[in-house]
Structure 1
């Protein structure tokens, strides 16, 4: 997005729809005072009812920091700062409604971790947003918290600007960032995000900052505390609209360079190992599979980075455009304009460079993944060929065994009649020499052998034929059903 010089064209990038300033039940079933043509308030509240337990905490975990900056009549005198940490909803609501409107108010809302709700109740958030007349778009920031950053939403969160009827501005955005914990390597990096809402009043008091932190005592909170202390001691005014935006960007954008470097080092480490693997060895083949899984894990880390950089780049570019607009309207001095222009140009260049680095890492991942996958596939194919050869050898052995069994069967059939005759004549049913010296005689009980043998033989043969015939009938019945279904489908045009 390029910098626009024509003020009329620049104004078109902002939504000039006035925000209603009357009080309302903010997180109720609807937003009656908002433009029904622009905002689907019912959808916002319906979604909020399903996720509010992951966004808002119970009253005993309440913890909100508020710093009010006021200015004295004498422009050379230091600003006055009053800081409060509230642990009860009622105390925060009383402070908001009874204290005088400060020149600038800073509200820090934290969650114990990225997966935990903010340490503020729904009632307190309702009163806070209602008192400051903040529209339902703020819910877009809230919906991004209460869980780990999701890949499906990495492209969301770029800066949005809305002008109010009193010529004040509502600015909000998300910045994704990484921070390194104790340890070495990309596994020690944690992905987080910070939500920023800024209500900017160009002339007079009433400006508001709401910072949504993903954990307590963040680096941004520490730097905010130092900046507010510096403002309190100096005669400079904290009304310079862009300083806190630069504080957010300078706190969180610089770490991306070192995170990308750590990812690149891991890619190169895997590439060096892959090039030296000998997949003919089982142990190195298993190591190759492990490298493949690590490479895919790294690729999963790289893929969401491009949308994150795209969203952050859009935020920086919108900030740059706002700087041009506010300079034309006299909301900032020439020095402030040049300062922000220089810084946004720097961050714009950095984010574009990071984006190009991500594209290079994606290509590098594919360059490593392709030969590794090919090598593993070739190894798998070689294993399949080896198994096939073994199966072929087993089949040949089986054929040889079958031939041997066939020979044995033939020999058995040759000798079977002789064996049967010998067994039969060896029974007591036949006598070769009687007691009186007579010759070969057959026992009178021979009929028992016939009566038992013939029915048993018939029963055996019959049972075999019945079973074989039943299987044939079942197959024929199944084939008939299939043919009928095919004919029915053909008739009805299903095939």
Structure 2
């Protein structure tokens, strides 16, 4: 068993459990009997002392994404032994106890294990976005395991969910309360899979949110006007105004080009294509299996065929979203190129200014005054960079549970480094020419580092 969670996947045997069970029972012929276990020992005792029902549905949830599933490993092992389930179930649960990890985006596709007696062990895991606030999206996951008896004698479904009173849990409760008379296994097949796949509807809204996020924070035309520097004034004041205005435009929270939003969108898009790819693979495999089961049915209209049509709808919908994601990726890539270019040109402006001043030094008093002015403006730039750093640190805190990268903090640190270096000149005696030249030298060296950094970044 491979465990990818930072936190425990299962609770301790003595911890409170949260296990719902719905199963056929002669005492409740019109619906499924509903049982809830808050102790692992009671769950183990019930399973071990009760005959296998025709249909049993088990729902296990965790309190939150970073909390363990509310069932002990021993209790789940006992259920596996009772039904002679293979180790695939351990792989299915390995990601619980933590948020969906970016390193696991390629996992969770549907698997089918065939036993000698005709039993099929079917398992898959779905990752999907949910809206937890006005504008904050986070990733959730559910896992489905089906002990499929083709003869319909001992079907077992196990669902692993995150959170209490989830829509999936309510769907299961609703299904359990419905009349089961005359229903065959194909109806259960459709109902259970369609309940699990209902979470996919959020992907459409999430991708459109990312698109609106880009449209609302990035105006390529306005950005390009700032980046085209055709005439750079040699005066210190205007040159610095240009640079401060440029960098403030791409970093300010209210600007058209918001570096925070751009890189946050980029980080969210990177795993999305792969996650949707895994889901599409599951839909394809499940559709093929459902079509095969439909061929063995004598009734034309059955649950297997109904699910085939249901899957086809979701597959077409997600395939269109994948196209939209590729377009968004290109937009983000272009924006990152433009952002890096404007900072590159700003840095070149600083370097040119420094080189110019080293060769055209005038009166010592005039140079000292200009250097003080330069220092004051660089302190202003430094403060703005620090404010932007605080913004990104807050973003990193918000997205920590989602394992979002906060590489932008490092980027901003490297951007504001020259400002920090120059601002120390406030404590230096600027009346000496050597100090002035040293300050320019430090600034020029630091800015050249940033130029190289942005050149490398844009290649990523």
Check whether TM > 0.5. Answer: yes
Note closer, same or farther for the CA distance 1:51–1:175 as it changes in structure 2 (3 Å cut): closer
> Shift in Å at residue 299 of structure 1?
0.2
Q: 2:208 aligns with which of 253, 256, 261?
A: 261
Mapping 1:4-23, distance limit 5 Å: none
- What's the CA shift string for 1:406-425, capped at 9, x where partnerless? xxxxxxxxxxxxxxxxxxxx
Q: Deviations over 1:350-385 (max 9, x none)?
A: 121111111111011112222222122112211221
Instruction: Tell me if 1:66 matches 2:21.
Output: yes
Give distance in 2, aligned partners of 1:163 and 1:259: 36
Residues in 2 aligned to 1:110 and 1:118: alpha-carbon distance in whole angstroms: 6
The answer (yes or no) to whether the contact 2:130–2:137 under 8 Å persists in 1 is: yes
**Mapping 1:407-426, distance limit 5 Å:** none
2:118 maps to 167
What is residue 205 of structure 1 aligned with on the other side?
A: 153
The CA deviation at 1:269 is 1.2
Task: Give the superposition deviation at 1:255.
Answer: 0.8
Matched-pair contact (CA < 8 Å) for 2:152–2:185? no
1:143 aligns with 2:94: yes
Query: Per the alignment, in what secondary structure is the counterpart of residue 107 of structure 1?
Result: strand
Q: Secondary structure of 2:219's match?
A: helix
Match of 1:34 in 2: none
Which of 33, 47, 54 does residue 82 from structure 1 map onto?
33
Q: CA-atom RMSD, angstroms?
A: 2.7
| Residue-pair matches, total | 344
Name the SS of the counterpart of 1:145 in structure 2. Answer: coil
Q: 1:299 aligns with which of 259, 266, 270?
A: 266
Q: Secondary structure at the match of 1:242?
A: helix
**SS at 1:211 equivalent:** strand
Alpha-carbon distance between aligned partners in 2 of 1:332 and 1:162, rounded to the nearest angstrom: 27
Match of 2:307 in 1: 340
| Counterpart residue number, 2:251 | 289
- 1:65–1:335 Cα change, 3 Å: closer
Distance 1:71 1:178, change over 3 A: farther
Partner secondary structure for residue 108 of structure 1: strand
Q: Which residue of 2 aligns with 1:393?
A: 360
Q: Secondary structure at the match of 1:60?
A: coil
Deviations 1:288-331 (A, max 9, x none): 13522321121000010111111000101011110122123349
* 1:448-459 superposed matches below 5 A: none
Which one of 252, 261, 271 corresponds to residue 199 of structure 2?
252
Q: Any residues of structure 2 matched to 1:228-247 within 5 Å, and which?
A: 228-232=176-180, 235-237=182-184, 240=187, 241-247=189-195
Q: 1:390 to 1:53 in 2, by over 3 A?
A: closer
TM-score, normalised to structure 2, is 0.69
SS at match of 1:371: helix
Q: Shift of residue 342 of structure 1?
A: 1.3
Q: Gaps spanning 5+ residues in structure 2: where?
A: 228-241, 253-257, 368-460
Assess, with a 3 A threshold, how the Cα gap between structure 1 residues 53 and 306 changes in structure 2: closer, same or farther: closer
Compared CA separation, residues 53 and 256, structure 1 to 2 (3 A): closer
Determine whether 1:110 maps to 2:61: yes
CA 1:337–1:206 in 2, change beyond 3 Å: closer, same or farther?
closer
State the Cα deviation string for residues 196-227 of structure 1 (Å, max 9, x = none): 10111121321111111122221111111112
* Partner in structure 2 of residue 358 of structure 1: 325
CA deviation profile, 1:177-207 (whole Å, cap 9, x unmatched): 1111231x3xx11111111101111213211
Deviations 1:83-108 (CA, angstroms, capped at 9, x unpaired): 11111121101110112221111111
Structure with greater Cα Rg? 1
Q: Is the 8 A contact 2:125 2:142 kept in 1?
A: yes
Shift of 1:70: 4.0
What residue in structure 2 maps to residue 154 of structure 1? Answer: 105
Cα drift, residue 237 of structure 1: 4.0
Alignment correspondent of 2:143: 195
CA contact (8 A) 2:23 2:33 kept: yes
Inter-CA distance 318–169: structure 2 relative to 1 (3 Å threshold)? same
Q: Is the 8 A contact 1:116 1:146 kept in 2?
A: yes
